[in-house]
Amino acid sequence: MSKPIVDQPPSKMLRLGLRLPIWLYRLNLGWLLGNRFLMLTHTGRKSGLARQTLIEVVQHDKESDAFYVVSGWAEKSNWYQNIQKTPRVTVRVGRREFKANAKFIPLIEEIKIMEGYAHEHPTAFKELTSLFLGERMKADSASVRRVAEKMPMVAFYPEGTKI
């Protein structure tokens, strides 16, 4: 079992690798990533400047048009801390861009959503747990709960949506 990175800051190399896909969006090629990833533009809690990060989409609720994501570095993620202060963000996914509001998802609801993700994407779930938690987990209920307890979930709802 490798050391979980959820408990430590990302290395410079990992940070660079995770930021490279942002250039796809900046070059108007974000559609190549489909609906599996979104680019989040949020406001820095200290600087007040616009910041961007790319996040994997756990679920897209077509009815509410909400996009659900988890924070790989738990509450330590800068984007997570920033949206706690300023929950109004801009989301780019595929060819779409829209203003959105962040909603922090309670654990019970997160577990249900993560169970769907683990069922639909078992290989991605194993890789996610291996990378962030240091252990390649099966896509079962116990593992899903462990992930949900470590990695908080946020939903981004288009502005004007009743939450």
User: Which pair of tokens denotes residue 116?
Assistant: 């769907």
For the stretch 26-71, pLDDT in tens is 777 778 777 889 999 999 999 999 999 999 999 999 999 999 999 9
Q: Which of 155, 157, 154, 135 is nearest to 146 (CA)?
A: 135
Q: How many residues does the chain have?
A: 163
pLDDT at 73: 85
* pTM score of the predicted model: 0.85
| Residue 94 CB burial class (10 angstroms; 0-12, 13-18, ≥19) | middle
User: Which pair of tokens denotes residue 43?
Assistant: 């406001």
What is d(CA 91, CA 40) in angstroms, rounded to the nearest whole number?
5
